[in-house]
Amino acid sequence: MTYYQKHLGRLLIRLDHVRTKYVRHRNFIIFVSFIIGALSALAAVFLKLLVGFVEHQANRLNDVMNSNWLTAIFPLIGVGISFLLLKRVFQGKLTRGVGFILKSVLTEKSRIGIQHTFGHILTSAVTVAMGGSVGLEAPIVATGSAIGSNTGRDLRLSYRDITLLVACGAASGIAAIFNCPIAGIIFALEVLLLDFNIPFFIPLLISTATATVISQVLYPEKFFAFNIVAWEMSSIPFYILLGILCGLLSVYTTNVVERLETRFDNMPNTYKTWLKGAVPLCLLIFIVPNLYGEGYGLITSLLNGNTDVLTSHSIFRKLGNVHIAIIGMCLLVILLKPLSAVLTIGAGGNGGIFAPSLIIGGTAGFAFSYLVNLASDMTRYIPNFQTDFNIKSPNFIVTGMAGVLAGVMHAPLTAIFLLAEITGGYTLFIPLMIVCAISYFMTRKYVKHSLYHKALIESKLIRRNYTTDDEVSEDEVL
């Protein structure tokens, strides 16, 4: 132990004595949760601004060259840098994803290594900014959780208090990204499987509210510009069909991710693994440019009615029939997005499946509404068989995003409140409930555990007992 570490330890002990003598413990935890929310928000905003700036420059380069062949090579570089950081700098001690947070709560007294407070920002920034087809949500959640864990440990708090601060950091990360404090809280409770009580809820509320305010001050632009209109009763059958579609896509996405992740996990961690993942990723991005980066720009364009973005800079942009081109590119995005996400992570990149799930769902919702409206228009040419199914694409894009997210994450409440808050109200609350419920129960029928919890359940850190109907009867955290 160095000279400075000794004196820092003594100072912390003295501050702890003063704190316990003059400050009520509950007030102190609320104050710390405020600090955790602020720090998590700063990390999230910095990461989003950095990645957004680089992605904008890549789009400008595509416009100048009228092709994406150069930017399709960027993921090879970005994932390679992340691979070197993970292997050489962090020496394999930087665990990716969200599952390790729950594992630390269950087995390591909520202690998360200090490298997680900055490592995810570095590796995910170069991964996603350079075109890695994953999301920033998991790295930001991991960063916020690590900030909460290390802060609680430095303040010599109890295991329960540190766990609370871990949840505050995770919830604040989600709240800062989407400006959704309630969804952030529900994410921490639903995904991290934490017990709910009122004393636990207040610090979560303080931290997420703080993160949301700071995010809005530093990044006032809306995440999406939604043109939402009131839903109609006549559209309910279509929302039911969309829920079934989202359930099928959730099963497909989960199976693709699990199988390919298993293959990459069984490969040695060498430069050959990087090439095996990054080279096919670059090829996919060249064929389907909308696989570049997180992909939220695609959803924004579709919400604004701009379908040209689907074929822009693509080798398929000159297809004769515009309807075939639009539907074909939507199918490619839906089917290849989970594959490109796993290739990014398997090759050494850092990111999560949260954003890909939203992109898959949003694209599916648009394609579904586009086909329904196209079919309705075509009935004009059939005598005595005319229909008027003019359903609103923005509404189905939103509910599709929520549906696939609910199925992949096994978190329907998070999906419902996240999209409800993003859209600025509860106009689509009933359709969101219908689509998310159907998608979730369909996914649970064929995929018993979410991507976040499967490894923990298989290692018996979490035990779930099922009835003969395969419905959960009891959840027990060991």
In a domain, 443, yes or no: yes
> Considering 185, 218, 251, which residue would you say is the last residue of a domain?
218
Give the CA dihedral 115, 116, 117, 122, nearest 10 degrees.
90
Q: Specify whether 96 is located in the same domain as 30.
A: yes
> Considering 218, 245, 263, which residue would you say is the last residue of a domain?
218
What is the distance between the alpha carbons of residues 280 and 278, in angstroms, rounded to a whole number?
Answer: 6
- Is the pTM higher than 0.95? no
In a domain, 458, yes or no: no
Q: Specify whether 239 is located in the same domain as 202.
A: no
Please report where in the chains the tokens 């050959």 appear, as a residue.
272
Contact 446, 247 (CB under 8 A): no
Q: Specify whether 115 is located in the same domain as 261.
A: no
Alpha carbon 181 to its chain's center? 15
In a domain, 85, yes or no: yes
In a domain, 455, yes or no: no
Number of compact structural domains in the chain: 2
334, β-bridge pairs: none
Q: Specify whether 141 is located in the same domain as 281.
A: no
Domain that holds residue 329: 233-447
pLDDT tens, N- to C-terminus, the chain (478 residues):
455 556 556 665 666 666 666 667 788 888 899 999 999 999 999 988 888 888 878 878 887 877 788 888 999 999 999 999 998 888 878 888 888 888 888 888 889 989 999 999 999 999 999 999 999 999 999 999 999 999 998 888 888 899 999 999 999 999 999 989 999 999 988 887 666 677 778 899 999 999 999 998 988 776 666 667 777 888 899 999 999 999 999 999 999 999 998 899 888 888 889 999 999 999 999 999 999 988 898 998 898 888 888 888 777 776 667 888 899 999 999 999 999 999 999 999 999 999 999 999 999 999 999 999 888 776 665 655 556 667 888 999 999 999 999 999 999 999 999 999 888 767 889 999 999 999 999 999 898 877 777 767 766 655 543 333 444 333 443 3
Kindly report the CATH number assigned to the domain that includes residue 100.
1.10.3080.10
Q: Specify whether 269 is located in the same domain as 129.
A: no
In a domain, 312, yes or no: yes
In a domain, 462, yes or no: no
Q: Specify whether 266 is located in the same domain as 211.
A: no
Q: Specify whether 32 is located in the same domain as 174.
A: yes
Q: Specify whether 144 is located in the same domain as 70.
A: yes
Q: Specify whether 136 is located in the same domain as 111.
A: yes
Q: Specify whether 291 is located in the same domain as 209.
A: no
Q: Specify whether 428 is located in the same domain as 280.
A: yes
